[in-house]
Amino acid sequence: MIGRRRVTSTSCPPNRMHSKAPGDDREMVAARAAFLERGYYAPLRQALEELVLEASAHLEGPVLLDSGCGEGYYTAGMFRALERAGHRPRAAGIDISKYALRRAAKRLPEGEFAVASAYRLPLADASADLLTNVFSPLSAEEFARVLRPGGTFLYVVPSARHLWEMKQVLYSQPYENPVKETPYTGFSYQRIVPVRYEITLDCPEDIRALFQMTPYCWKTPREGVEALSALKRLTTQVGFDLHVFRRSPA
Ligand SMILES: C[S@@+](CC[C@H](N)C(=O)[O-])C[C@H]1O[C@@H](n2cnc3c(N)ncnc32)[C@H](O)[C@@H]1O
């Protein structure tokens, strides 16, 4: 891996700390891959591609790290967009799920993928120009270590009403996602790019796949799951906020 440093152990979230296969399991990974393949989140990928291109304008061979990359849907999109624009990118992805990474490596054979934790990245200091984090754990200190001064960090979080109509089916009293602007040591805030649109899922398989890739999968009462399972069609708003940070000079 890019400027690799020796890694002797990998840290995991507390709930999967002792699992032999931490992170998203085979079923979750397959559900997310199928859902993403249908293009429902293509506008988010497009927005990431545009921001990465903008941040790479003066770089011939930008080095990208996608932390918590999952199956590499966004990693591959950003890499290909950079290639199409005439750059000679290098892309790396880390995730604690080996199932996700197997798919990522197939999706982007040119990429360098490693099973590792975001809290202990297998990269040398200041070795990346771009770092992305899409719906996965944030480790500001590690991100600041591996990103070079002036490098760009893109952090994607759900908006207040992301999947609102699905939540209305699942819960009697749905809550909005908390929206906050958190400053991180070592980074300066540049801007927030909102992505908002609506999707219609017109088969129960896609509705189930979407549900499985959300955190609600773990914490929905049985009645909510049954109500969602009974649906043949679901239209829901989706919303992402892309927080753009610049790594401060050392
Ligand atoms: C919601 S998924 C997002 C995956 C991918 N970024 C996407 O949007 O398609 C969260 C990912 O974070 C991974 N993950 C969870 N804890 C992690 C950690 N401590 N370090 C690295 N990856 C982690 C999971 O295995 C999973 O692939």
pLDDT confidence of residue 19:
63
- 223 Cβ neighbours under 8 A, 6+ residues apart: none
In a domain, 91, yes or no: yes
Residues of the chain with pLDDT under 70: 1-21
Task: For a ligand 1 pocket test, name from 96, 103, 117 the mutation site with the most ligand atoms within 8 angstroms of its C-beta.
Answer: 96
In a domain, 149, yes or no: yes
170: its two tokens? 């699942």
In a domain, 126, yes or no: yes
CA of 134 to the centre of ligand 1 (A): 8
User: From CA 192, how far away is CA 90, in angstroms rounded?
Assistant: 26
Q: Are 163 and 199 in contact (CB under 8 A)?
A: no
In a domain, 105, yes or no: yes
pTM for this model (two decimals):
0.91
In a domain, 35, yes or no: yes
CA distances, 204 to each of 35, 37, 199, 208, 226 (Å): 12, 16, 14, 6, 12
Amino acid code (one letter) for 109:
P
- 173 Cβ neighbours under 8 A, 6+ residues apart: none
pLDDT confidence of residue 1:
66
pLDDT confidence of residue 23:
73
In a domain, 232, yes or no: no
In a domain, 86, yes or no: yes
In a domain, 182, yes or no: yes
The number of distinct structural domains making up the chain is 1
pLDDT confidence of residue 182:
87
Q: Are 193 and 241 in contact (CB under 8 A)?
A: yes
**Ligand 1 in contact with 62 (CB < 6 A)?**
no
pLDDT confidence of residue 11:
30
Angle at 2 between CA 132 and CA 118, to 5 degrees: 45
CATH (domain of 29) = 3.40.50.150
- Residue 113 burial class via C-beta count within 10 angstroms: exposed 0-12, middle 13-18, buried 19 and up: buried
Range of the domain at 39: 20-160+178-197+239-247
pLDDT confidence of residue 5:
43
pLDDT confidence of residue 28:
84
Q: For 222-231, how does the pLDDT look when each residue is reduced to its tens digit (9 = 90+)? A: 999 999 999 9
Task: For a ligand 1 pocket test, name from 27, 103, 136 the mutation site with the most ligand atoms within 8 angstroms of its C-beta.
Answer: 136
pLDDT confidence of residue 22:
73
Give per-residue burial for 209-246: e unless 16+ CB within 10 Å, then b.
bbbbbbebeeebeeebbeebeeeeebebebbbbbbbbb
pLDDT confidence of residue 2:
66
CA of 157 to the centre of ligand 1 (A): 13
**Ligand 1 in contact with 133 (CB < 6 A)?**
no
